[in-house]
């Protein structure tokens, strides 16, 4: 995601605790999501490509992002047809709440690389790369549960060759999830949960 800064440190807990009206308005039972624990918060249909994966493209990667936004701002960006960006999932900092914005069969626009977009599932995390306080225990745990479920359903090994950072996408000029993201912990949790 873009690096625009709207919210600096302070209101972390308050922002994380709020489910935005935009999400409440469209919230549906979890039955429609690919990940049972996720709440459906659909992106604008202008912000992703409809597909029929894995028939059209095999899913080879989970791409880990840090949004450089709050949770609610991230959902709002995905719902804005002018933004031309989306990810399949967004994980909230304070409690690890997971929203699904794009179906896994469809191609979200998150990696900045069409080939990688077609072959991956993107997970955005609320927060900023230089503010590790956003990377809470709850967020690591719930994100790891989500990634483990994705890996199980798509037959992906739970390792760093298949669970990658946005910065590892060829041609990417993004640094997320950044030096404060604890990859050792994350991969351990993915294999544990
Ligand atoms: Zn990213």
Structural domain includes residue 20: no
Q: How many CA atoms lie within 13 A of 29 on its CB side?
A: 1
pLDDT of residue 25: 45
pLDDT of residue 116: 98
Q: Containing domain of residue 147, as a range?
A: 28-192
Task: Kindly give the distance from the C-alpha atom of residue 30 to the centroid of ligand 1, in angstroms, as a whole number.
Answer: 25
Give yes or no for a contact between 23 and 39, defined as CB atoms under 8 angstroms apart. Answer: yes
Structural domain includes residue 23: no
Structural domain includes residue 50: yes
Task: Kindly give the distance from the C-alpha atom of residue 173 to the centroid of ligand 1, in angstroms, as a whole number.
Answer: 9
Structural domain includes residue 152: yes
Distance CA 82, CA 29 (A): 27
Structural domain includes residue 15: no
pLDDT of residue 193: 84
Structural domain includes residue 17: no
Task: Kindly give the distance from the C-alpha atom of residue 117 to the centroid of ligand 1, in angstroms, as a whole number.
Answer: 12
pLDDT digits (tens, 9 = 90+) for 151-170: 999 999 999 999 999 999 99
Report the number of distinct structural domains present in the chain. Answer: 1
The DSSP secondary structure of 62-110, one letter per residue, reads EEEEE-SB-HHHHHHHHT-TTS----SEEE-TTT--EEE-S-TTSEES-
| The pLDDT of residue 130 is above 80 | yes
Task: Kindly give the distance from the C-alpha atom of residue 57 to the centroid of ligand 1, in angstroms, as a whole number.
Answer: 21
Structural domain includes residue 1: no
pLDDT digits (tens, 9 = 90+) for 43-65: 999 999 999 999 999 999 999 99
Tell me, what CATH number does 138's domain have?
A: 3.40.80.10
Structural domain includes residue 10: no
Task: Kindly give the distance from the C-alpha atom of residue 123 to the centroid of ligand 1, in angstroms, as a whole number.
Answer: 9
CA-angle at 125, arms to 122 and 126, nearest 5° = 145
Whether the predicted model's global pTM rises above the 0.95 cut: no
């Amino acid at each position: 995601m873009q690096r625009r800064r709207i919210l600096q440190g302070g209101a972390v807990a308050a922002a994380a605790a709020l489910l935005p009206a935009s999400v409440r308005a469209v919230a549906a039972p979890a039955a429609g999501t690919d990940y049972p624990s996720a709440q459906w918060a659909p992106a604008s249909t202008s912000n992703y490509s409809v597909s029929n994966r894995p028939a059209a493209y095999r899913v080879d990667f989970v791409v880990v992002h840090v949004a450089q936004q709050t949770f609610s701002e991230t959902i709002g960006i995905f719902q804005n047809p002018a933004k031309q960006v989306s990810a399949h999932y967004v994980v909230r900092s304070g409690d690890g709440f997971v929203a699904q914005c794009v179906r896994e069969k469809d191609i979200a626009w998150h990696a900045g690389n069409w080939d990688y977009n077609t072959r991956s599932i993107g997970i955005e995390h609320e927060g900023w790369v230089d503010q590790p306080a956003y990377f809470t225990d709850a967020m690591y745990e719930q994100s790891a549960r989500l990634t483990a479920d994705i890996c199980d359903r798509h037959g992906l090994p739970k390792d760093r060759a298949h669970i990658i950072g946005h910065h590892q996408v060829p041609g990417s000029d993004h640094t997320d999830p950044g030096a404060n993201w604890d990859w050792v912990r994350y991969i351990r949790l993915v294999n544990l949960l």
